[in-house]
A and B are shown apart, each in its own frame.
Chain A
Amino acid sequence: MTTPDTSAADHHTLEDQRRRRAATPGRRFLRRFMRHRLAVASAILLIVLIITAIAAPIVAPHDPLAIDARALRKPPTPAHLLGTDDAGRDMLSRLIWGAQISLAVGLVAASISVTIGTLIGLASGFLGGKVDFWLMRLTDVVMTIPTLIIIISLVAVLGPSIYNVMLVIGIFGWAGIARLVRAETLSLRERDFVTASRCVGAASRRIMFRHILPNVTAPIIVAGTFAIAGAILAEASLSFLGIGVRPPTPTWGNMLNRAQSLTVLESMPWLWLPPGLMITLVVLSINFLGDALRDALDPRLLNK
């Protein structure tokens, strides 16, 4: 057994290495992420919001659907911290319950977009040829049709319901993700490990999902984050126009619907400022988060 070298100049003994924490990619990512102060604050805010939304039945002071005909359009009072709407329902409770819907729609719709986009991008990038050409034409079509216009048309036609909203937003939001995944797949396709897999005889599907997909997860996560923000905005727009989720179910978008009347706009700010500010805050946080994620996951900065 050799005695450990105790010379002062040498700090890299085996014991030292074992004692120092391993610099796993996960830890490196966290370090780089923590540098973006704003994003960390956003992440905390979002977590608090999600917990509040899930705990809505407990946290909300009143029943969001409870009509109180004696307190129509009342400004904030200690009983109703954010005032009441035109049916006498408590604004604060509606705001909290509304968070559930906005976040849920955002997550589900974004998941649909990410799934479709990833599949199409992988297939397009990896298989190439005619498949690539036609899938890219399809992507062009979806990118060219002004998303909001077709979403409005479809939801108007299918009927306002939370499921239609989730579905339609999801189905038209995948174009950017598909392009991104395709670009990454194209570059990864030429790498040695893919060639090696092909030599061993792996089927295309296996290579795509087992080898290429894990390597494109980083940009997909970033794109997915922005997709959630976009979906929340889209749902808000639809509900605002009256074709998304309908009252009495509260969602931040349809709470803003009331503000179309100049009277409400001018003299009852408590009816429309809180939901609008909430949407802005949430989307802003998600955008900061996504931006920081993009920086932190950038493979070109591997050794920071």
Chain B
Amino acid sequence: MTKYIIRRMLISIPVLIGITLITFMAYNLAPGDPISAMIDPSLPMSGEMMQKLRQEYGLDQPLPVRYLIWLREAVKGNLGYSFASRRPVGQVILERVPATIQLTLAALLIALALGIPLGVYSALHQYSKLDYVLTFLAFFAVSVPAFFFALGAIYIFSLRLDLFPTHGMSTPGAEYPFWDHIYHLILPATVLGIERIAGFLRYTRSSVLEVLGQDFMTTARAKGLRNKTVFWTHGFRNSLLTLITIIALSIPGLFGGAFIIEWIFAWPGMGQLAIASINARDYPTLMGTALIGSILVLISSLLADILYAAADPRIRYS
């Protein structure tokens, strides 16, 4: 198992380097310079200091050297200084990360909690009316643009029905801040989760259908076990494995979607920061968000793969 983990981490390294390369190249396309953004704006600048800093940060060096310098600084945690707020980018982003993780996790949980049972039901009652309705809704959920769905949800649930708040993370002066927080979280998390529900539902459905047709299921039933035991203990377990892969594959999409949902609901996470930085032309922050976002996705993929290997011994030895 440890060997597998180490092997998996080693494979992640070129991917990590690739991410930094793409982010750096994108950064370079922006007006300005990744390295000049690293200079602390609060320091008094004189001509001499500028020269010294230029040399130290290698602003006059060719591109590959500047990449390595930027990388070195990034590893130290120095992602430059935000143009908009004059604070170190790393700090600004770190403040926002918990909010994004909350939203993404909540959305994932909602999608799983609804998607899997509905998928199982759909498979067990194949071709029933509910099955058709669910399949159609699944198609629908994948086709609606996320932001349109979010706007529609705000329109129906916040403005017309007045069930949920339209924006933000908290109401000032709320009595029970924790529940108030959850109250604000429900609508954005559900909207973000809806698209994923469709994917999980269809996948669970087809995976369960496939498993149901297998020989070992007939054996289990022949042994005289109750249908419930046959299904959950023997059949469903096998679907669970592929489900982990599906979850892992949906994480990048979930993060990307979170950006837009955060912006629409003014949820103060990384995504809202990124979009705000675009409007403010704050490239260091924008690139920092892209980098950190990608790294978070990489880490979750790694964890998902390790989980998969823990669940399915065949993977460990391939």
B255–A149 contact, CB under 8 A? yes
Q: Which of B1-29 contact A (CB under 8 A)?
A: 11, 14-15, 18-19, 22-23, 26-27, 29
- The DSSP consensus for interface residues of chain A is helix
User: In the complex, what's the smallest C-beta–C-beta distance from A169 to chain B, in angstroms?
Assistant: 13
User: Is the CB of B301 closer than 8 A to any CB of chain A?
Assistant: yes
B143–A287 contact, CB under 8 A? yes
Which residues in A have their C-beta under 8 angstroms from that of B286?
153, 156-157
A145-B22, A147-B252, A276-B148 as given contacts; A152 in contact with B274, CB under 8 Å: yes
A153–B151 contact, CB under 8 A? no
Determine the distance from Cα of A154 to Cα of B257 in the docked complex, in whole angstroms: 17
A137–B14 contact, CB under 8 A? yes
Among A138, A241, A284, chain B packs the most CB atoms within 10 A around the CB of A241
Q: Supply 6 further A-B pairs (C-beta < 8 A) apart from A148-B253, A242-B279, A272-B151.
A: A138-B18, A152-B278, A158-B29, A236-B145, A240-B260, A284-B143
Which residues in B have their C-beta under 8 angstroms from that of A236?
145, 147-148
- The count of residues in chain A whose C-beta lies closer than 8 Å to any C-beta of chain B is 43
User: Is the CB of A111 closer than 8 A to any CB of chain B?
Assistant: no
User: In the complex, what's the smallest C-beta–C-beta distance from B34 to chain A, in angstroms?
Assistant: 12
B275–A241 contact, CB under 8 A? yes
Determine the distance from Cα of A147 to Cα of B253 in the docked complex, in whole angstroms: 7
Determine the distance from Cα of A152 to Cα of B289 in the docked complex, in whole angstroms: 11
User: Is the CB of B50 closer than 8 A to any CB of chain A?
Assistant: no
User: Is the CB of A15 closer than 8 A to any CB of chain B?
Assistant: no
A145–B139 contact, CB under 8 A? no
User: Is the CB of A280 closer than 8 A to any CB of chain B?
Assistant: yes
Binding site for A on B (CB under 8 A): 11, 14-15, 18-19, 22-23, 26-27, 29-30, 139-140, 142-148, 151-152, 154-155, 159, 166, 252-253, 255-257, 259-260, 263-264, 274-275, 278-279, 283, 286-287, 289-290, 293-294, 297-298, 301
Q: Which of A221-267 contact B (CB under 8 A)?
A: 229, 233, 236-237, 240-243, 253, 256, 259-260, 262, 265-266
Determine the distance from Cα of A149 to Cα of B27 in the docked complex, in whole angstroms: 13
User: Is the CB of A299 closer than 8 A to any CB of chain B?
Assistant: no
Determine the distance from Cα of A279 to Cα of B149 in the docked complex, in whole angstroms: 11
A146-B255, A147-B252, A148-B256 as given contacts; A241 in contact with B263, CB under 8 Å: yes
Which residues in A have their C-beta under 8 angstroms from that of B275?
152, 241
Which residues in B have their C-beta under 8 angstroms from that of A146?
252-253, 255-256, 259, 293-294, 297
A262–B152 contact, CB under 8 A? no
Q: Which of A21-58 contact B (CB under 8 A)?
A: none
User: Is the CB of A63 closer than 8 A to any CB of chain B?
Assistant: no
A138-B18, A140-B15, A156-B286 as given contacts; A229 in contact with B143, CB under 8 Å: yes
